Amino acid sequence: MAHSTLPITKEPRAQGPRHRGLNEATERSTALSLFVSLRPAQWTKNLIVFAALLLGQRGTSPAFLDPWAIGQAAAAFIIFCGLSGVVYLINDVADRHADRQHPLKRHRPIASGAVSPALAIGTAVLLTAAMLGASWLLRPAFALVAVTYLVLLALYSGSLKHIVIIDVLTIAIGFVLRAVAGALVIGVEIGHWLLIVTLLLALFLALSKRRHELVLLGEGAVHHRRSLEHYSPYLLDQMIAVVTASTLIAYTVFTMSPETAERLGTPHLGFTVPFVLYGIFRYLYLVHQKLGGGSPAEMLLTDRPLLVCVALWAAAVVVLMYSPLGN
C-alpha cells in the first residue's frame, strides 16, 4: 500500500522580542545618524536671521516686540536650519571619501557608513521641497533669497570650495544672505554697513577655520581640500589681520554714523564696540593658543567667556535702542 507523502511546510519563525528590539534599535540608530548629518550643532549660524528683528523697527515700536515679526523670524530660522541641513548632506556625500582620511570628519555618519548616500540624497530632496515651499508661503522675496542661498552653497559643496579665496568668500556671502532674508521676512530695512560687518565677520570665521585645518592636518591638508594647497598659516594670518581691522572699523562706523542713529533711535551704539573687540580678541586667542577655530558654532556654545560676551552685547544693544538710557 502506497503511503502518500504530504509536503512539509516550514512555518516562518516568529520574531522574538530580542530580534524586534534589534531591528527597532537599528532604525533608531539610522534615524539618529541622519539627524546628526544635518549638523544641528551648526544651526547657531542661522541666528543671524534674527539680526533684523533685534535691530529693526516696525512703525514706532521695536520689531522684537511685535508677535507677528517674532513668528516670521522664528519660521525663517527653522527654514534656514533645514536648508543648511540640505547643504551639509550634499557636502558630506560629495566629500565622503576625503572625510574618511580626516582624523575628525571620518566619524561623520555618511563618511563612516552609518547613513547611506542614497538615504542622504533622498532626505535632502524632501527637505528642499518642504523648506522652499514654506519659504514661499512666508514671502516670495524671502523665498528668492532662500533659493539663492541653497544654490550658492550647493555650488560651494561642488567646485567653489576648491578655489582659493573664492571658497571663504562664498561662505561669507552665505551669512549675508541669511541676514538679508531675516530683514525681508519681517519687512524691515537692514543697513548697508551692517551687511558689510556681517560679510567681514563671516570672512574672519572662515579664514580662521582654514588656518585650523592647515595646522590640524599638516602635510595631509592638501589631500583633504585642494584649496589648502594655496594657503599657508602665514598667509592666513595676514588675511585674518586685515579682516579683523576692517571688521572693527566697519562696526565702529556703523554704530556711530548719523544714518544709524536716526534709523535705530540712538547715537550711543558705539558703547557696544568693546564687546565686539573682546569677542574678536577672545576668538583669536582660542585659534592661536588653544588650536580652536575648526567649528565656530561649537566654540560659541562651549567657550563661556565668548558666550557671555555675545549675550552682553545683545543686552547692551537692546538697552541702548529701547530704553531712555539710549536717548
Does some domain include residue 36?
A: no
Q: Which SS3 state, helix, strand or coil, does residue 179 take?
A: helix
| Local structure of 266: helix, strand or coil | coil
pLDDT at 8: 45
pLDDT of residue 25: 45
Q: Is 3 inside any structural domain?
A: no
Alpha helices in the chain (DSSP H): 17-37, 51-55, 67-94, 96-99, 109-112, 117-138, 140-158, 166-186, 192-217, 221-224, 233-256, 258-264, 273-289, 296-302, 304-322
pLDDT tens-digit map of 268-315 = 899 999 999 999 999 999 888 877 766 777 787 788 999 999 999 989
Q: Is residue 155 part of a domain?
A: yes
Q: What's the rounded Cα separation, in Å, for the pair 238 and 45?
A: 25
Which CATH number does the domain housing residue 132 bear? 1.10.357.140
Same domain, 222 and 130: no
3-state secondary structure of 187: coil
Same domain, 55 and 181: yes
Q: Per-residue pLDDT averaged across 145-150, rounded?
A: 95
Q: Which of 194-203, 217-226, 280-289, 300-309 has the lowest average pLDDT?
A: 217-226
Over residues 135-141, the mean pLDDT reads 94
Of 23-37, 164-178, 224-238, 273-287, give the lowest mean pLDDT range: 23-37
Do 167 and 117 lie in one domain? The reply is yes
Q: Give residues with Cβ within 8 angstroms of 184, minimum separation 6.
A: 139, 141, 142, 145
User: Is there a single domain that holds both residue 182 and residue 225?
Assistant: no
Residues 117 and 163 grouped into a single domain: yes
> Is 1 a residue whose pLDDT tops 60?
no
Residue 134 one-letter amino acid:
A
Is residue 214 assigned to a domain? yes
State phi, psi for 298 to the nearest 5 degrees. -65, -40
Is 65 within a domain?
yes
Q: Which of 62-66, 77-81, 138-142, 152-156 has the lowest mean pLDDT?
A: 62-66
In the DSSP assignment, the letter for residue 47 is G
Same domain, 263 and 279: yes
In a domain, 13, yes or no: no
b/e per residue, 102-137, with b = 16+ CB within 10 A?
beebeebbbbeebbeeebbeebbeebbeebbebbee
Is residue 2 scored above 50 in pLDDT? no
305 is a domain residue: yes
Rounded CA separation 36/51 (Å) = 27
Q: Are 199 and 173 in contact (CB under 8 A)?
A: yes
The domain of 85 spans 41-190
User: Cβ(276)–Cβ(313) under 8 Å?
Assistant: yes
Q: Give me the percent of the chain exceeding a pLDDT of 70.
A: 85
> Whole-model pTM?
0.81
Final residue before a domain boundary, out of 167, 190, 213: 190
**Structural domains of the chain, count:** 2
Confirm whether 104 is domain-assigned: yes
Query: In terms of domains, do 181 and 213 share one?
Result: no
Look up residue 132 and give its three cell numbers.
Answer: 522652499
Q: What is the pLDDT of residues 25-58, one digit of tens each?
A: 455 588 888 888 898 888 888 999 998 888 776 6
Burial of 163 (0-12, 13-18, 19+ CB in 10 A): middle
Residue 326 has a pLDDT of: 59
pLDDT at residue 5 tops 90: no
Whether the pLDDT of residue 16 is over 70: the answer is no
